[in-house]
Chain A
Amino acid sequence: MIRNIITLTLNDLAIAFKNKTIYLVFFIPFFVFFSLKLVDREDIGPVELNIGLVRDEMADPVILQAIQSAGKALTVSLVSDEKEGVKSLKDRKIDGLLLNSKTREKSLVLVVLKKESVVTLSLVEVFSALQKATEGRNPGWISDIRPLQTGGPQRQTLPTWTLMLVLLVGFLILPAQVAEEKEKKLLLALLQTPMRETEWLAAKVFSGMFLMIVAVLLLHLLGGFCPDNFVGYAAFIAAGGFCFSSFGILLGFLCRNQAGARTLGVMFYLPHLLPSALSDFSHKLTVVAPILPSYQFYKPIKSILLEEGRISKLWPEWAYLILVGLITLSLARHLMKKRWLM
């Protein structure tokens, strides 16, 4: 009995090795380890904050002097105007932007990405401490906090969930489906008909896009979220759907069977999901993530959902997604014509 169990266990492991499932056991911990290495560790040592000041709109000299005396805890970056400051903030070059309050004299408005974040809390704490040390009274320099990203935590996490759903269909469902059709020779049966290769590819892209749109729509309906810029949002969901459906079809063509396709899918799913979703927490990941098509999808939908972004300013990302989709789809067509691993 024990001998049989050992034999069967070894057989299962051999199958896992053969269909590359075993690679996930090594890949996932390694990938998570390296991703976490790239996430800035804000819990260790004193938090170093970078605050933006508008050059021609200098704050009260007392406040300015206090900021300059803060030393390493607070570094200052000068920006030419509020627009440049907001851009630097979105690019995570600065942690906050200080503007003179238009309603209260000798007080400031702190512009941050998110109101409920560790960075915002740290900035408020630093300014409270500085005011107390300078004037010895209760905090009042910062009279208002203006977040760039609106909505509560539910809405704040919406872009991550949307990205997750789109990538799930693109990298996990579609490659397995394509590989299954190859493995069971169903695709070859279809190629016995006068159907065009492009028709099959288009059908696969549309079915992938349909699944993605239904999933995203359901997420919005259940959460009661409605984007203000619906047209721009829909354009990005469609472009992302096209891009990741095509990518998924290509992955399916690279594998001989379903198990291999699932493994390869996970190997693409995590590196596309984590750096983009974690880029909010890390300067380093913000530098690395833009290489990925997933970031070019995540950033615009986040901008549209949380920062009132417009497609007129986001067209390069839209074009990038379409381009990646077209390249991967033409590669998939090439492999299909070559009867690759069929």
Chain B
Amino acid sequence: MMRIEIHDLTKVFNNERGLHPVGFKVEKGGLIAVIGHNGAGKSTLLKILANWILPDGGEALVDGLPLEKRRAVARKIGFVPETPNLFEFFSVEYNLKLFARLFQTPFSRMEYVLKEFGLAPFRRCNVQLLSKGLKQRVSIGRALLADPPMLLFDEPTSGLDFEMTHEIYRLLKAFHAAGKTILFTSHRPEEIKTLATRIIVLHQGYLVFDGPPDNYFQSEIHEKLYLS
């Protein structure tokens, strides 16, 4: 079964950057890395799928649902943005409770998330006092509150130290093992060599590669984009 189907998805910003007609399909259970340089269109792709921005053309289906059915799609996709967008003046618990209410999930799920992500000791701490790594964990926890079958991570390790980066990769592997379909962006392909089951490469808004990691690392594209 296809989790995501993308047909000629387009988004062009004023400076011509964005996404030129892009199309691919994502099967259930994939751990897919979307890589490319800055401005390649990686974040734009994820933001369109997360309903943050509206596409100029094309179509994207999530479990057969068009993105226009935002409320239904919201239960299917959890999105973790590059910069955690949390209510900074409130506690970790407040943030998770608010979203648990909006997702209409029981508070026991929030307790599970707090425990699972090691956030229980910080539950009463104001988010603004947390480190970036902890904020990222709260953001991931929030995305998982409704237990969506698909997760989108935009540059999940951006700005994190070595230890925290590996912690995030460990989490991605764990989610994948739990049967979730994952799409994440990165501009450091070497780091995700052993992580992704499939690599999609975007370059200046165009899809230039789509295949298994082994094929990618032996391809001319990798050499051209990252080695030369």
Contacts and interface: CB of A to CB of B under 8 A. Distances in A.
A222 B51 CA distance: 48
A6 interface: no
Given A185-B85, A193-B99, A194-B103, A339 B71 contact: no
The size bracket of the interface on B is 20 to 34
Contact of A193 (B52, B81, B86, B102): B102
Interface in B49-99: 50-54, 70-72, 74-75, 77-79, 81, 83, 85-88, 99
A190 B86 CA distance: 10
A184 B86 CA distance: 8
A195 B71 CA distance: 7
Contacts of B83: 185
Nearest to A188: B52
Interface string A177-218: 000000011101111111110000000000000000000000
A126 interface: no
Given A185-B81, A185-B85, A186-B85, A192 B54 contact: no
Given A338-B54, A339-B52, A342-B52, A195 B85 contact: no
Nearest to B100: A193
Contacts of B103: 193-194
B84 to A, nearest CB: 9
Contacts of A184: 85, 88
A339 B54 contact: yes
B228 interface: no
A342 B103 CA distance: 22
A342 B47 CA distance: 12
A194 B51 CA distance: 12
B218 interface: no
Contacts, number: 48
Interface in A159-184: 184
Nearest to B70: A191
Given A185-B85, A339-B53, A192 B71 contact: no
A189 B78 CA distance: 10
A190 B103 CA distance: 10
B104 interface: yes
Contacts of A189: 85-86, 99, 142
Contacts of B77: 192
Nearest to B102: A193
Most chain A C-beta atoms within 10 Å of own C-beta, residue among B71, B142, B143: B71
Interface of B: 50-54, 70-72, 74-75, 77-79, 81, 83, 85-88, 99, 102-104, 142-143, 146
Give 3 nearest A-B pairs by CB, closest first.
A185-B85, A193-B102, A194-B71
Given A193-B102, A194-B103, 8 more contacts: A184-B88, A186-B87, A189-B86, A191-B51, A192-B51, A192-B77, A193-B146, A194-B72
